[in-house]
Structure 1
Amino acid sequence: MCSTNDKLVLNSIFNPLMPTTDDNDTASDDITRQLTAEEQLAKELETEAVNAANGSQYDRSLELLTRAIYTAPNRASCYNNRAQVYRVIGNTELALQDLNEAIRLSSGTGLVARQAYCQRGLIHLLHKREAEGIEDMKLSANLGNDFAKALVVQLNPYAALCNKMLRDMINKCIIGGETGDQ
């Protein structure tokens, strides 16, 4: 019987591009403390904005998120969500400004920072700023973002090559053991 750690090690060998943890943390940063009335209103505006964006109503979404920021200017998730809408409509400059603010307000920790680092990393990679993109993805991965973890491995050719060589070696041992070859 394999332990959880054994399964994670085997998964990293046979699936080098997949995340190596079983982290499924989807909890919001909001559950750790009581929200003020302004933050609660901003959260409701955010929810409405996300629904608008999901319906391709980007102008409405931006309007709602800007209102949320005005209502609770220290709420990092408002900036992160607005950055995502900016990114979707192709305004990466404004998206970067909001992502920088989201990271600053979150002190680079928690769910919002994890998402903001990932978004900012994708923008850097899109604009061929690979070193900055990989650094942001590493920061996001360290905060538990499975997508960022997989992307960091995928962008590291040495890790992928080592995993492939190890996988090939294990496959040869398994095939050799099953056929009786010594």
Structure 2
Amino acid sequence: MSTEHDRAVLNQILNPLMPTTETSSNNSTQFENDQIDHCGYEESVGIEKEAVILAESGKVPEAIEKFGEAISKCPINPSAFNNRAQAYRLSGKIEEAISDLNEALKLSNPKSKTTCNAYVQRASIFRLKGDDDKAREDFQKAADLGSSFAKMQLIALNPYAAMCNKMLAEVFEKVKTGQ
């Protein structure tokens, strides 16, 4: 009989590029909050939540506009920049996404969840653009903050680990099919 941990380990072996939960028992990272002292911050957060709902319902252009409104209310809210970057990325506006991620990283607490998410998102963009060196650098920063997804991406960027994962997946596939 396998335990939940056993199944999680096996899943990571068979699906090395899939993200894992960020709240595993081995992850003791405690994120610090972004300290934002701005009169429009609370209103910005409310508008940002509306924008997230729009994005999740597929209304990405409207979400981008709403995130812009949230940023206008509080131009030092790193989360709004990080979330708008996600919407830009979904719209194929990669340079705008990178610009917003850079701004989110500039504004956020270096040990905040926003910082971790921005590094993961920017690294993913770099990886899609074929810039594995920059991707590796940002994934390492996110991994240092506790992102298990970033840790898995670092392994995937390691050609030796990728080769071992591929061979192991082939072995498991042969076992599953009885070969």
The separation in 2 between residues aligned to 1:25 and 1:46, in whole angstroms, is 25
Q: Does 1:88 align with 2:90?
A: yes
Root-mean-square deviation over aligned CA pairs: 3.3
Instruction: Note closer, same or farther for the CA distance 1:57–1:164 as it changes in structure 2 (3 Å cut).
Output: closer
Instruction: Note closer, same or farther for the CA distance 1:48–1:25 as it changes in structure 2 (3 Å cut).
Output: farther
Aligned pair partner of 2:27 in 23, 38, 43 = 23
TM-score (norm 2): 0.73
What are structure 2's unaligned runs of at least 5 residues?
Answer: 169-179
The separation in 1 between residues aligned to 2:160 and 2:39, in whole angstroms, is 50
The separation in 1 between residues aligned to 2:64 and 2:32, in whole angstroms, is 21
The separation in 2 between residues aligned to 1:164 and 1:85, in whole angstroms, is 33
The separation in 2 between residues aligned to 1:25 and 1:67, in whole angstroms, is 32
More deviation in 133-142 or 18-27? 18-27
Residues matched between the structures, number: 156
More deviation in 14-23 or 115-124? 14-23
The separation in 2 between residues aligned to 1:160 and 1:59, in whole angstroms, is 37
Q: Which has the higher contact order (CA 8 A, sep 6+)?
A: 2
- Report what 2:75 is aligned to: 73
- Report what 2:45 is aligned to: 43
Bigger radius of gyration among the two: 1
More deviation in 54-63 or 88-97? 54-63
What are structure 1's unaligned runs of at least 5 residues?
Answer: 1-6, 168-182
Q: Percent identity?
A: 34
The separation in 2 between residues aligned to 1:109 and 1:27, in whole angstroms, is 6
TM-score (norm 1): 0.72
Instruction: Note closer, same or farther for the CA distance 1:157–1:42 as it changes in structure 2 (3 Å cut).
Output: same
Residues 120 and 142 in structure 2, CA contact (< 8 A), matched pair in contact too: yes
Q: Which has the higher helix share?
A: 1
